[in-house]
């Protein structure tokens, strides 16, 4: 390559020699260089302009093609889409232990409005107010003619309402698919299931979220698409639950109680077969939460889990069992029962005077406060506390409901000797009926701890040992005798060998200051069959009065026990238990085949 020098030095020198002006030559050179540069720039610009022109042509072509593609596609129904992650509509079903449906989903429609698309807002508003009487026509019209572009009218409508709204014929009234949670059994197992409502709502779908009970506790599981719609299996037996509710409702009205609860629990697995709290509600139409007054008066209140009560003499068996486990007494040991037992300024009395001495078994059978308190004294506060803790009475239950932590037992602030004595017969410590069921199950199943559960289990729980197996057996025998010859004689159900313990506790006044004279919590804690225990049943009535006799009777033996007996009579066959009737000797005739 030959480089062209920037300045024509040769010519400049020559011009100098000739005496010419070299500046002219320089200027000429500069002009030439400039021309050359411009030519180069112009050539380059020509190419680049061509590129630009082609690019613009292509861009406009693209827009044209795209416009053509768009124009030839079908227009969509205008529908407000939800940005972000879609709402997963399908919520898993909840089924009972036999696969019968407790909660499922139903396709319905929601109704919303696009006021700007309405042709005749006055007519639409009038017709809507006619179809949905609870809507206010003037308010609707104000919304339809105002600035609003979107308006929910109803979140759920029935097929009939859908048709009626459709017949209005307004293009501004639109329907969206909507899944609702349906509880086909109505109020049966209402407290367990809880209920559901809508979370995030879109036009195309809405999120169903649990608000209480297992629906809330297992909300994440029920909504998890990874389960592929596998239902949640509860330990509840729908038939037993229905029968229990029916019997309990009847008992509650006969005994004039203001509330009632029952817990039926498998003694080995801890599965809750039925759990009833009355009054109840329909989870399809949950009543509003009380804003004033005592929440325990609301039908939403689950007495079995949330309600903590001083449950009375049903606790005596724990004291006696612990004393036997510690070898302090045996069933035949005689205990001094002369009353009243005075401790400081407190006096402990029995319902009746049972004489100077009773055997340990008879203390349970006759339900002697004095005798139990004496035995508790032998045990001492620390050991009693530890024992009740091992049975789960000091902590909220771990049952799978969001309400469980609110059922926290109320304990004495100072576990003194007098507390020890009152707790031994079930006063001074408040716990829920579910606690009691778990405690009885743990004591009577051979002596290992059982945690209550609402999920179907296939295996027996193997918890920590609470008492020796022999103590468990002896406790069962005592409870059986209570029914056979003691305070719970109405509890006998032919063929099922019911054992149990009554408890009648005076209700404490609301603002402290002692107990009511005429309001009790009557409880019957039972186990059946007593020789090979399978189920524990707790029935608790709130303020029952049995008034068939001369004077009103409130003790559990007259109130809770007959209700529990009727319940066992109804549910034991449903649970597949065969009554043990005394087999007669075959009478002379021998049946032969072939």
Partner 1 sequence: MTEMVYGTVPVVSVDPIIPRWWRTVDKWTLTCVFVLFGIGLLLGLASSPPLASKNGLEPFHYVMRQGFFGGLALATMLVVSMMSPQLVRRLAVIGFVCAFVAVALLPIFGTDFGKGATRWYSLGFASLQPSEFLKPGFVVVTAWLLAASQDIGGPPGKTYSFVLTVMICAMLALQPDFGQACLVLFAWGVMYFVGGAPMLLLIGIAGLVVMAGSFAYSNSEHFARRIDGFLSPDVDPTTQLGYASTAIREGGLFGVGVGEGQVKWSLPDAHTDFIIAVAAEEYGLICVLAILALYTTIVVRSLMRLMKERDPFIRLAGTGLACAFGVQAMINMGVAVRLLPAKGMTLPFVSYGGSSLIAGGIAVGMLLAFTRTRPQGEMEDVLMRRIGR
Task: Give the interface with partner 1 as residue ranges (CB under 8 A).
Answer: 30, 32-39, 41-42, 44-46, 48-50, 52-53, 56-57, 59-60, 62-64, 66-68, 70-76, 78-81, 83, 116, 149-150
**9 or 36: whose CB is closer to partner 1?**
36
Report d(CA 417, CA 162) in Å as an integer: 69
**147 or 551: whose CB is closer to partner 1?**
147
CB of 153 to partner 1, least distance (A): 17
**35 or 531: whose CB is closer to partner 1?**
35
Burial class (CB in 10 A: 0-12, 13-18, 19+), 46: exposed
H or E segment to which residue 440 belongs: helix 433-444
Reduced 3-state DSSP string for 128-181:
HHHHCCCCCHHHHHHHHHCCCCCEEEEEEECHHHHHHHHHHCCCCEEEEEEEEE
CB of 226 to partner 1, least distance (A): 25
**149 or 352: whose CB is closer to partner 1?**
149
DSSP string, 70-123: HHTSPPPPP-PPPPSSPPP-----EE-TTS-EEEEEEEEEEEEE-GGG-S-HHH
Of 366, 550, 575, 390, residue with least CA distance to 465: 390
CB of 73 to partner 1, least distance (A): 6
**13 or 32: whose CB is closer to partner 1?**
32
CB of 107 to partner 1, least distance (A): 23
For residue 468, CA distances in Å to 60, 387, 388, 422, 482 come to 91, 13, 15, 25, 22
**Inter-residue contact 506 to 519 (CB < 8 Å):** yes
CB of 111 to partner 1, least distance (A): 18
**10 or 70: whose CB is closer to partner 1?**
70
Report phi then psi at 11, rounded to 5.
Answer: -70, -35
| Helix, strand or coil, per DSSP, at residue 401 | coil
CB of 22 to partner 1, least distance (A): 18
CB of 67 to partner 1, least distance (A): 5
**Inter-residue contact 346 to 420 (CB < 8 Å):** no
Helices (H), 459-559: 469-485
CB of 63 to partner 1, least distance (A): 5
CA dihedral 310, 314, 320, 321 (to 10 degrees): -110
CB of 2 to partner 1, least distance (A): 13
CB of 75 to partner 1, least distance (A): 4
**Inter-residue contact 213 to 193 (CB < 8 Å):** yes
Q: How many CB atoms lie within 10 A of CB 86?
A: 11
**64 or 229: whose CB is closer to partner 1?**
64
Question: b/e per residue, 436-451, with b = 16+ CB within 10 A?
Answer: bbbbbbbbbbbbbbbe
Give the distance from CA 174 to its chain's centroid.
35
**172 or 500: whose CB is closer to partner 1?**
172
**64 or 287: whose CB is closer to partner 1?**
64
**202 or 452: whose CB is closer to partner 1?**
202
**Inter-residue contact 196 to 211 (CB < 8 Å):** yes
């Amino acid at each position: 390559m030959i480089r062209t020098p920037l300045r024509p030095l040769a010519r400049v020198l020559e011009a100098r020699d000739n005496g010419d002006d070299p500046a002219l030559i320089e200027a000429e050179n500069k002009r030439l260089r400039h021309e050359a540069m411009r030519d180069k720039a112009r050539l380059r610009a020509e190419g680049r302009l061509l590129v630009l022109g082609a690019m613009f042509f292509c861009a406009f072509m693209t827009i044209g093609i795209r416009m053509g593609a768009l124009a030839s596609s079908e227009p969509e129904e205008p529908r407000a889409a939800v940005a972000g992650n879609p709402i997963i509509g399908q919520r898993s079903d909840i089924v009972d232990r036999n696969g019968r449906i407790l909660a499922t989903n139903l396709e319905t429609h929601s109704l919303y409005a696009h006021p700007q698309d309405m042709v005749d807002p006055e007519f639409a508003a009038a017709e809507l107010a006619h179809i949905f009487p609870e809507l206010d026509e003037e308010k609707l019209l104000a919304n339809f003619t105002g600035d609003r572009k979107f308006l929910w009218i109803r979140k759920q409508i029935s097929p009939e309402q859908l048709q009626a709204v459709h017949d209005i014929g307004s293009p501004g009234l639109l329907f969206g698919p909507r899944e609702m949670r349906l509880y086909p059994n109505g109020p049966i197992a209402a407290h367990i299931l809880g209920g559901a409502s809508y979370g995030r709502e879109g036009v195309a779908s809405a999120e169903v979220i649990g608000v209480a009970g297992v629906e809330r506790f297992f909300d994440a599981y029920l909504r998890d698409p990874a389960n592929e719609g596998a239902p949640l299996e509860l330990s509840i037996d729908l038939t037993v639950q229905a029968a229990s509710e029916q019997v309990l409702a009847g008992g509650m009205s006969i005994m004039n109680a203001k509330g009632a609860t029952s817990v039926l629990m498998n003694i080995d697995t801890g599965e809750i077969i039925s759990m009833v709290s009355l009054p109840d509600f329909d989870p399809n139409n949950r009543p509003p939460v009380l804003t004033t007054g005592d929440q325990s008066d609301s039908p939403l209140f689950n007495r079995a889990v949330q309600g903590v009560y001083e449950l009375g003499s049903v606790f005596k068996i724990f004291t006696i069992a612990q004393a036997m486990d510690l070898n302090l007494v045996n069933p035949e040991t005689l205990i001094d029962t002369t009353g009243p037992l005075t401790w400081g300024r407190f006096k402990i009395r029995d319902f009746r005077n049972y004489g100077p001495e009773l055997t340990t078994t008879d203390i349970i059978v006759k339900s002697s406060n004095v005798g139990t308190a004496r035995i508790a004294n032998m045990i001492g506060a620390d050991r009693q506390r530890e024992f009740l803790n091992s049975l789960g009475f000091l902590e909220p239950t771990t049952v799978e409901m969001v309400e469980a932590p609110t059922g926290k037992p109320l304990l004495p602030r100072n576990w003194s000797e007098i507390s020890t004595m009152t707790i031994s017969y079930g006063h001074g410590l408040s716990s829920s009926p579910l606690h009691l069921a778990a405690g009885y199950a743990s004591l009577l199943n051979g002596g290992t701890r059982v945690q209550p559960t609402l999920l179907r289990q296939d295996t027996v729980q193997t918890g920590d040992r609470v008492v020796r197996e022999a103590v468990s057996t002896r406790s069962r025998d005592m409870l059986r005798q209570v029914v056979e010859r003691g305070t719970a004689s109405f509890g006998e159900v032919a063929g099922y060998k019911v054992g149990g313990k009554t408890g009648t506790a005076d209700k404490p006044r609301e603002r402290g200051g002692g107990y009511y004279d005429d309001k009790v919590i009557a409880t019957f804690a039972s186990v059946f069959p007593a020789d090979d225990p399978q189920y524990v049943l707790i029935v608790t009535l709130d303020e029952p009065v049995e008034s068939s006799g001369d004077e009103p009777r409130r003790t559990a033996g007259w109130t809770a026990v007959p209700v529990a007996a009727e319940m066992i009579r109804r549910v034991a066959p449903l649970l597949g238990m065969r009554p043990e009737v005394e087999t007669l000797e075959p009478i002379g005739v021998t049946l032969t085949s072939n």
